[in-house]
Structure 1
């Protein structure tokens, strides 16, 4: 029997139980135990992908939690505390002679033992196996085969971001320049793109699209997520859903791409939207960053086009509740206390129930958020867009 679950499959570890950094740019309170607690009780997320599980201290913590019966290993793969399932993964940077620039990829494995086996191999090919997103010194296809050797999933991460991504930096026009297309299980879109933008690229037609948060803080968990129909809430269930066997991606929920840091082509110096990439017409700076919207158009024109043959699930433009104008931290905390968690507030809470706790204007904006109707000001050149008041 299948059931739907909310899933965010790209969450970092900021600090280990021993107090050592894993993702240096992530918050120190982004720990394994905090993720389990915050995901369910505050965010309402059912399935989390922790993509720093290769780090030796993180693996030790998972081992201890299983030994102490805080969590169990599921028969279908993954770890569960009875409320949240965690998939064990790793974010890795590839930059070899075939790449135009660095590319981040996500790899997920079914069990602690498989992650340990992968980690033993992995540590021989990176400088610091304790840290997240390390550059691996080998080509992309060899990495793909190694991930599959350990029964893993292979997913290019935030594929259009101008820095450290497949299309943003890594290839001139096609993923075939660096990867075996048959060994890719899904595509993670990233914050500055959505299904409508990405589906124009013909070589992506056969892959499911994922929308994940790339959370560097607890509050950003669920910034983007998806609803999955699964035969079981486990690694196996996710594998089946991505292959459209006994499950599927039902809906993607993500930021309006205009809210992303790299949607428009903008000058990093003055923030002006630009047509030229060489020099800003406003301030004369050469720090113009090509936007995702422009890059996708370039890729689309460079590839042989064919009619779309994939019926995509809906993509609903949403923002985290903290983005709603007028909804401050104290009021958000009150909402969460009275109305369970964010997923309930966003998807299910009646407008009249919201009005009892917040102003009519804020309640209506939450309903607009639910429907993807909030108006936004575009971001670019490393600056997020914003919701119009």
Structure 2
């Protein structure tokens, strides 16, 4: 029997339980315990992946939770929290290609013993193994060769963004920097906040891969701003691997992501005057003439695409545009508290609560905006250059 699970596999640990920084800048509330509590109590997630478990400080915190029996090992990999939410151990690692381009890749490993061995091995290359997303001083092909020997799942992160991504700054095709064997070891592709499957499926070599949408959360409230529904036979690392490879009927059946226009790198942006591009690729700012531009994800895909329109393979998950509560005008902390008190989790508010029920708690205007966000009919001002887009309403 297959069950459906809300899944966010890209959550950062900001600080250890002992008060030492893991990732700067992030929220100091992003401890392993804080993430698990937020995922269960506020977000309603079934699977969470932390991507800083390469750090011995994070591993020590996880070991402590296991000793206290707050985390229970799952035989097929991963750790169960409160008998309801699966924790997956991952690492975000930075690599460098011959052209100087930097990229981030997620590496997920089934248990703490194997992750500890992987951490020890990678400390030969990473100067400060305690900190997040450190440069491994190697190309991706070498990381794939190393990580592949640790029973891992390898997922290139936010692959189109203009900073630290494969298509953004390293290559126009994976096949330019990886062999067929190395490409085969990639378990899935993370789209990033500024792209969706319509955009990514314009690149032909991605057709064989499963797409996932993750939050890349740097604070607790950002958890599940993008997520997926995995259809699996059980909650385990092994079942996740099967879902990504679409075996034994396990699969990713839905991606819930920001409308790409809300992403902070969707359109080309002038760093001098703040102009955000409309249609068409630009190399100088039409407003001030500056050439200091941050190329948008849409423009980058237009440069490298094989197809004008997306070519979706038959296995492609449906992509649903989601606008998190934090992006909805009028939903501040007080309104959020009221909504969560009434509906328990953000998943319930975004997916299941009726207009009448929402209006009874937050008023008709906010209820209407939530319904617009749910339907995909909201008007959005596009983001770029590190500035998120904005929901305006209809």
TM-score of the two chains, using structure 1 as the length reference: 0.96
Is residue 268–residue 382 contact of structure 1 (8 Å, CA) maintained in 2?
A: no
363, 367, 374: which one aligns with 1:363:
367
Greater CA drift, 258-267 or 110-119: 258-267
Is residue 281–residue 299 contact of structure 2 (8 Å, CA) maintained in 1?
A: no
Which residue of structure 1 lines up, in the alignment, with residue 118 of structure 2? 118
Structure 1 residue 286 corresponds to structure 2 residue 288: no
Which residue of structure 1 lines up, in the alignment, with residue 273 of structure 2? 270
SS at match of 1:134: coil
Structure 1 residue 90 corresponds to structure 2 residue 94: no
Q: 1:359 to 1:104 in 2, by over 3 A?
A: same
Structure 1 residue 59 corresponds to structure 2 residue 59: yes
Greater CA drift, 281-290 or 103-112: 281-290
Is residue 316–residue 371 contact of structure 1 (8 Å, CA) maintained in 2?
A: no
1:304 positional shift: 12
Which residue of structure 2 lines up, in the alignment, with residue 221 of structure 1? 223
SS at match of 1:380: coil
187, 205, 208: which one aligns with 2:207:
205
SS at match of 1:135: coil
1:311 positional shift: 3.7
Give a deviation string over 1:176-211, Cα, whole Å, max 9, x none.
Answer: 222321111100000110011110100000000010
In structure 2, distance between residues paired with 1:308 and 1:340: 36
Task: Please identify runs of 4+ aligned residues in structure 1 that moved more than 6 A.
Answer: 303-306
Is residue 196–residue 319 contact of structure 2 (8 Å, CA) maintained in 1?
A: yes
Q: 1:145 to 1:273 in 2, by over 3 A?
A: same
325, 337, 351: which one aligns with 1:321:
325
In structure 1, distance between residues paired with 2:43 and 2:313: 35
Alignment of 1:1-389 (within 5 A): 1-81=1-81, 82-97=83-98, 99-171=99-171, 173-179=172-178, 180-245=182-247, 246-274=249-277, 277-301=282-306, 308-389=312-393
Greater CA drift, 284-293 or 303-312: 303-312
Give a deviation string over 1:280-319, Cα, whole Å, max 9, x none.
Answer: 2212323211111111011114x89996543422111111
1:277 positional shift: 4.8
RMSD: 1.7
SS at match of 2:251: strand
Is residue 96–residue 137 contact of structure 1 (8 Å, CA) maintained in 2?
A: no
1:138 positional shift: 2.2
Gaps of 5+ in 1: none
Give a deviation string over 1:185-240, Cα, whole Å, max 9, x none.
Answer: 10000011001111010000000001000000000000100111011111111101
Is residue 198–residue 310 contact of structure 2 (8 Å, CA) maintained in 1?
A: no
Greater CA drift, 193-202 or 174-183: 174-183
In structure 1, distance between residues paired with 2:309 and 2:336: 46
1:279 positional shift: 2.9
Gaps of 5+ in 2: none
SS at match of 1:85: strand
